[in-house]
A = this chain, B = another copy of it.
Amino acid sequence: MPSSRLTFDAWEGTYAPRMDHLRHSAVRDLFAAVSRPNVIGLSGGSPDISSLPLDEVAECARSMILEEGPKALQYGGSDGRIQMREIVCEMLAENGIDVSPDEMILLAGSQMGLDFLGRAFLQPGDTIICEGPTYLGALQAFSAYEPNIVCVEMDQDGMRMDLLEETLERLGPRGAKFIYTIPNFQNPTGVTLSLERRRRLIELSHEYEIPLVEDDPYGRLRYEGEHVPPMKSMDPSVIYLGTTSKIFAPGLRLAWMVAPKPMLAHVNLCLQGAGLCVSSLSQVMAEYYFTRTDWKATLEKIKDVYHERRDAMLDALAESFGPEVEWSWPKGGFFVWLTLPPYFDTDQMMSVALERGVAYVPGRNCFPDGRGKSSMRLAFCYEKPEKIREAIARLSDVVSDRMDLYRAFLAAGALPEPEPSAQIGAHHDAPKTLFVRNGR
């Protein structure tokens, strides 16, 4: 019997092959770096919760234990508490989604829903369709099931339906297991899918018999423009995901999936296998928060905070970058997508950026196939406006230095003259209209 500690992996070679496909989270890897003093983090998508009324939340927490303790502390059913599901139904009704609590299942975070979608639908090699770029957590969740992920390019109105249709034609009916989209203020681009395209997307999903997954964490965080109805409000067969993370607190890990009942039965089975049920404590906490505080007034305050930060970032970008840099103009949510000239590698640039005190998510993490090399995701949700301005100034310095260096090399003949195609990049062509240069 060995008494010494293992310092190597004694089980190397016994893990399942799927482990080789699991993606590391760049955001996680960055957390350590970002916690260094002087680094301003534009990498993480953590909501700002400093506007929450802690006194009221504390009172909710106290009363829920006194009044509902035996239930808040006990196991619950695998669908989630009926009280919480009814609250969510009311919220959804405000967005035109008319569902009953038995068409909903509660989850410990919407990413758990993505994992269960993978589990319910995917065999290794199955095809799924996402936006390109897409949410890196979704890529992580799906990657455990070893799918073939096809990314459809976006422009300023979201996923391009002409390209989607080409893809679907190529794959044929039921040629993909599902289409995954974040229609509102997409992560990572901040772009919103237009109403016209939402309608077309629903048509295509029926024409090709492919389930449509609508992930909507940011839908209530619009800072300008008109609300666009969710696809779930137009088509009951849509699988819809929502969460408390951005309208209350991510620390609860509480989200929901709304879907046709037969599909939900599959998800319920996954849920039972994976963990029996969602934390009752979190559910009751959310029930109290959404019924005993003026959460909508709080949310308005929080939106004002994000709005100001978005403006700070967009202003700073316009001040700091020249016409060779492009970025998106989000009307809500948390993120701006920024693309540098094609000779940039934002992975490689990261160490220098961290040294100068700014962190971002390198764009390659938002694609399954190595694209996104010269792009990055910038989050404006977490840092204060003055910090955001400072962070963009630092980023601009890093970028300028690299550009100067590149031009010097070019002038010295140390680099081949860039060809037009290389300078724009094939992956760069299509989503060009996604970006603004120096303003809207």
- Binary B-proximity of A57-92 (CB < 8 A = 1, otherwise 0): 111011111100111111111100000000000000
A346 CA / B245 CA spacing, docked (Å): 44
Residue interface bits A2-39, CB-to-B below 8 A is 1, else 0: 10111011111011111100111100100100000000
Contact check, A253 vs B278: say whether CB atoms are below 8 A apart.
yes
Which residues on B sit within 8 Å (CB–CB) of A277? 253
Q: Mark interface residues in A275-291 (1 if CB within 8 Å of B CB, else 0).
A: 11111111001000000
Residues of B within 8 A of A403 (CB): none
Q: How far is the CB of A70 from chain B (nearest CB, A)?
A: 6
Partner of A211, one of B11, B25, B74: B11
Interface mask (A251-290 → B, CB under 8 Å = 1, otherwise 0):
1110000001111001001101111111111100100000
Question: Is there an interface contact between B275 and A111, defined as CB atoms closer than 8 Å?
Answer: yes
Residues from chain B with Cβ under 8 Å of A5 in the complex: 236, 260
Q: How far is the CA of A407 from the CA of B5 in the complex (A)?
A: 61
- The contact string, 1 if C-beta is below 8 Å from chain B, for chain A 203-229, is 100100101000000000000000000
**What residue of chain B has the Cβ atom nearest to residue A69's Cβ?**
B54
> Do A279 and B276 touch across chains, with their CB atoms under 8 A apart?
no
Whether B16 lies near A121 (C-beta < 8 A) is yes
Which residue in chain B gives the minimum CB-CB distance to A205? B1
List the B residue with the shortest CB-CB distance to A143.
B273
Q: Which listed residue, B1, B50, B73, B281, touches A235 by the CB 8 Å rule?
A: B1
Interface hit among A112-120, A162-170, A390-398: A112-120
For chain A, the count of residues having a C-beta within 8 Å of the partner chain is 104
Contact B115 A274 (CB under 8 A): yes
Q: Which residues of B contact A12 (CB under 8 A)?
A: 262
Once the chains bind, are B251 and A72 in contact (CB under 8 Å)? Answer: yes
Contacts of A123 in B (CB 8 A): 16-18
Query: Is residue A177 within 8 Å, beta carbon to beta carbon, of the partner chain?
Result: yes
As a 0/1 sequence over residues 111 to 144 of chain A, the CB contacts with chain B under 8 angstroms (1 = contact) are 1100100011111001000000000010011011
A242 adjacent to chain B (CB < 8 Å): no
User: Smallest CB–CB gap between A268 and chain B, Å?
Assistant: 9
A249 CB–B CB distance under 8 Å: yes
User: Taking A6-B260, A251-B279 as contacts, is the C-beta distance between A274 and B76 under 8 angstroms?
Assistant: no
**A402 interface residue per 8 A CB criterion:** no
Give a binary string over A35-48; 1 marks a CB under 8 Å from any B CB, 0 the rest: 00000000010110
Can you list 10 contacts pairing A with B, beta carbon distance less than 8 Å?
A1-B235, A6-B262, A14-B121, A16-B145, A22-B273, A49-B70, A54-B69, A58-B61, A74-B249, A119-B144
